[in-house]
A and B are shown apart, each in its own frame.
Chain A
Amino acid sequence: MHPARKQKLMIVLFILLGSMVTVGLILVAFNEGLNVFFTPTEVAEGKVEAGQNFRIGGMVKMGSVVKEGLEGTDIEFIATDTNKDVSVRYTGVLPDLFREGQGVVADGYLDENGVFQATQILAKHDENYMSAEVKSALDAGERKQAEAAMAAGQTP
């Protein structure tokens, strides 16, 4: 390679490497500030100051949703990351994809009783797309596996 070209190549590599290192350091410095929500475990660890506005993210615990009020718009449910739970209270209309066992992101603050008072509820969607038939076939397969595992456990 011609020396002049080699020098240009080094410049290109230097620009690429330099920008990577710079931006990498900035991102490390921001660290958790770039997370769009905190998990219930992080809240329990005291990563959020009392009274501070933040978003909490987790799964809607199975069987935890309670709808009250005239039109069922006073909503209470438990957001969980399977390790820690946080009670969430919200008044308003829920997004269509809000379901038990599904991901949820709520915007609001923790009150003095440790209940999360939400001002906005967002549904988090997973990365799986399939038709209703495939979904029910998958669920049936999982049930069968679970039953087989239980049967295997019962007979030593």
Chain B
Amino acid sequence: MWQWLYRLGSPKLFYDMTTGFLPWLTIVTYFLLIVGLVWGLGFVPPDYQMGDNFRIAYIHIPMSVGAMGIYAMMACMAAMHMIWNIKLADLVARSCAALGATYCALSLVTGSLWGKPTWGTYWIWDARLTSMLILLFVFIAIMALRSAYDSENSGSKAASVLTLVGVVNLPIIHYSVVWWNTLHQGDSILGVSSQSANPPEVWSPAFFVGLGLIGFFFQALIRRTRNEILLHERRSQWVQQLLTSKQLQE
């Protein structure tokens, strides 16, 4: 029943499948990012209160959602690694951590730059900001824990457990603005007509940037994972063959 999972988890199959797919994904990613950013930063009318400052949201919100999404994916991979002992899942989880930490750090930095002109401060220890900072620390802790072990297997196991424990932070981040008084505003309700708050004209570019950032994450993830696969399978026959064919081409 679970055979398909093992077959899909074959590093060689993953490597072969992504070779043709990667360039297309990269092109679509940059297209989405350019459309979303040019539209959002250049053409959307300024906000009635914040003027042009609000455009930071076009990077800040997709980055924040992205960081949480990456964590959720990393946790699924950690669970798959623990339950079915799928090596590829662990290689993907390993590649997720640094990317998630980057998204999370950029979310914090952009939010801070927005906070100064809007709130009057770069930082406040409210529930939303603090829980997001903890997410960044968890990402970093997972990377540190993994590399602290001499044995790669023990490192993977420890990192998987910590990843699962950290899942508890995701609902806290999401509901922090509901459960506690925070300086950070609540989640925006997307308007459907152009005569409502947050009209489609305002949020559509964020949607493009969001898809673009998801695409960027996956293309970077695939590249990292491919490198990890080559490194870990370097003694296997198919990698040896790949290397010799590359050398012959040169």
Q: Which residues of A are at the interface with B, using a C-beta cutoff of 8 A?
A: 1-2, 5, 8-9, 11-12, 15-16, 19-20, 22-23, 27, 34-39, 57, 94-99, 105, 120-135, 137-138, 141
Contact = CB atoms under 8 A, between A and B. Distances in A.
Contacts of B185: 124-127
Contacts of A99: 49
Interface string B110-132: 00000001111100111100000
A8 B89 CA distance: 15
B143 interface: no
A129 B47 contact: yes
B164 A16 contact: yes
Contact of A127 (B2, B79, B179, B189): B189
B176 to A, nearest CB: 9
Nearest to A131: B45
Contacts, number: 133
B46 interface: yes
Interface stretch (B26-34, B63-71, B191-199): B191-199
Chain B, interface size category, equals 35 or more
Nearest to A96: B117
Contacts of A19: 164-165, 167-168
Contact of A9 (B47, B83, B127, B161): B83
A131 B198 CA distance: 9
Contacts of B117: 95-96
A66 to B, nearest CB: 20
A122 B164 CA distance: 37
B119 A95 contact: yes
B104 interface: no
- Nearest first, the 10 A-B pairs at minimum CB distance are A95-B120, A131-B45, A36-B126, A128-B197, A135-B48, A35-B181, A132-B48, A127-B188, A127-B185, A8-B83
Given A34-B127, A134-B194, A141-B195, A121 B167 contact: no
